[in-house]
């Protein structure tokens, strides 16, 4: 009964109340319920964990996967990323946009303070997140997981953009006088007031529209970044660390999304098999067994 209710009408927020929750959300709630009942069994509060044999119906999981596949917007290609980089040249928010292209989560960018940025050493520390709940409630909290709290080196173009942004903010502070808020955040408007993720996203959409770029979520720049790094040989342990994941399997499952252009070198490699142009030392390598 609980499963049917959750899948059909259990939503309380994050969408229209009274509609069904997604299979993943129900699965996560069920996992917590199982853990709680396991503890209750251990303490002798109940005799058996009645939720232990319950699982989300396969039909619901498949339906969710199909819906996600239909709604999915492919992240930007390398060419699109480079077009966006050209489009933001000279933009006041160039530095925050470049941080997004580095793979930082928007909530991490929104919570970043100048105290977290060391321009002398060219590093940035990610320690907290800042999000908006509803339309106006700002929530600042710890990073998504312990692994998300990390220090990253700044590529030269990003360090240069942050330096320019810091200098521009100093000029804005001087012009505004006592009207400047001085919150300490990196992502602020011309009067020092902290901007939130929605405002950053809207500004990014304006740049995309103005330059004729395909609209994607700013969060999806994370997938473009991590796919590029994976395709260019960054080792798994470094890729996961850059992403802020404890396990590279998370990075590869959700964020590394090679497109057809990424696969062309693989096609070229296969061409060596068919044409006989493979290096001599490869001729003795078996391609596979008869059964495989």
144 in the same domain as 90: yes
pLDDT over 50 at 290, yes or no: no
Which residues make Cβ contacts (< 8 Å) with residue 161, sequence separation at least 6?
94, 95, 98
Band of the pLDDT at 25, cuts 50, 70, 90? Answer: confident
182 in the same domain as 63: no
Q: Which of 228, 257, 275 is the last residue of a domain?
A: 228
According to the model, what pLDDT value does residue 181 have? 95
Query: What is the CB neighbour count within 10 angstroms for residue 246?
Result: 14
According to the model, what pLDDT value does residue 252 have? 95
Q: pLDDT (tens digit, 9 = 90+) per residue, 214-268?
A: 999 999 999 999 999 999 999 999 999 999 999 999 999 989 999 999 999 999 9
Sign of CA dihedral 218, 221, 223, 226: negative
45 in the same domain as 185: no
- Distance between CA atoms of residues 231 and 90, nearest Å: 29
Band of the pLDDT at 285, cuts 50, 70, 90? Answer: very low
**Burial classification of residue 99, based on how many CB atoms lie within 10 Å of its CB (0-12 exposed, 13-18 middle, 19 or more buried):** buried
155 in the same domain as 92: yes
- Distance between CA atoms of residues 280 and 289, nearest Å: 21
- Residue 266: inside a domain, yes or no? no
- Distance between CA atoms of residues 246 and 251, nearest Å: 9
- Distance between CA atoms of residues 55 and 42, nearest Å: 22
User: Which domain covers residue 44, as residue numbers?
Assistant: 2-71
Ramachandran category for residue 189: left, alpha or beta (phi over 0 → left; psi -120 to 50 → alpha)? beta
C-alpha torsion angle, residues 272, 275, 280, 282 (rounded to 10):
50
- Residue 281: inside a domain, yes or no? no
97 in the same domain as 197: yes
- Residue 139: inside a domain, yes or no? yes
Q: pLDDT (tens digit, 9 = 90+) per residue, 185-219?
A: 999 999 999 999 999 999 999 999 999 999 999 99
According to the model, what pLDDT value does residue 279 have? 56
Q: pLDDT (tens digit, 9 = 90+) per residue, 107-158?
A: 999 999 999 999 999 999 999 999 887 667 788 888 878 999 999 999 999 9
158, 92 Cβ separation under 8 angstroms: no
pLDDT over 80 at 55, yes or no: yes
- Distance between CA atoms of residues 281 and 271, nearest Å: 16
Q: Is 180 helix (H, G, I), strand (E, B) or coil?
A: coil
Beta-strand ranges (E) seen in 164-276 are none
């Amino acid at each position: 009964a609980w499963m049917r209710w959750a899948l059909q009408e259990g939503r309380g927020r994050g969408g229209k109340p009274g509609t069904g929750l997604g299979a993943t959300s129900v699965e996560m709630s069920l996992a917590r319920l199982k853990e709680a009942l396991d503890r209750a069994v251990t303490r002798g509060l109940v005799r058996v964990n009645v939720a232990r044999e319950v699982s989300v119906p396969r039909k619901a999981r498949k339906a969710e996967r199909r819906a996600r596949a239909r709604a999915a917007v492919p992240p930007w290609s390398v060419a699109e990323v480079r077009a966006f980089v050209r489009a933001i040249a000279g933009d006041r928010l160039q530095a925050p946009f470049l941080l997004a292209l580095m793979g930082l989560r928007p909530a991490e960018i929104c919570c970043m303070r100048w105290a977290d940025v060391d321009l002398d050493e060219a590093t940035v520390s990610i320690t907290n997140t800042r999000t908006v709940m509803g339309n106006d409630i700002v929530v600042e909290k710890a990073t998504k997981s312990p692994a998300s709290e990390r220090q990253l080196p700044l590529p030269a173009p990003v360090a240069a953009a942050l330096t320019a942004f810091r200098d521009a903010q100093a000029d804005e502070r001087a012009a505004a006088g006592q009207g400047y808020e001085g919150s300490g955040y990196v992502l602020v408007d011309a009067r020092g007031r902290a901007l939130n993720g929605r405002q950053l996203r809207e500004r990014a959409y304006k740049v995309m529209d103005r330059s004729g770029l395909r609209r994607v979520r700013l969060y999806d720049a994370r997938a473009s970044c991590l796919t590029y790094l994976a395709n260019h040989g960054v080792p798994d342990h470094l890729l996961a660390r850059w992403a802020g994941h404890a396990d590279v399997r998370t990075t590869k499952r959700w964020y590394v999304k090679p497109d057809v252009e990424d696969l062309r070198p693989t096609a070229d490699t296969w061409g060596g098999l068919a044409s006989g142009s493979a290096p001599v030392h490869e001729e003795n390598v078996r391609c596979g067994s008869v059964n495989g």
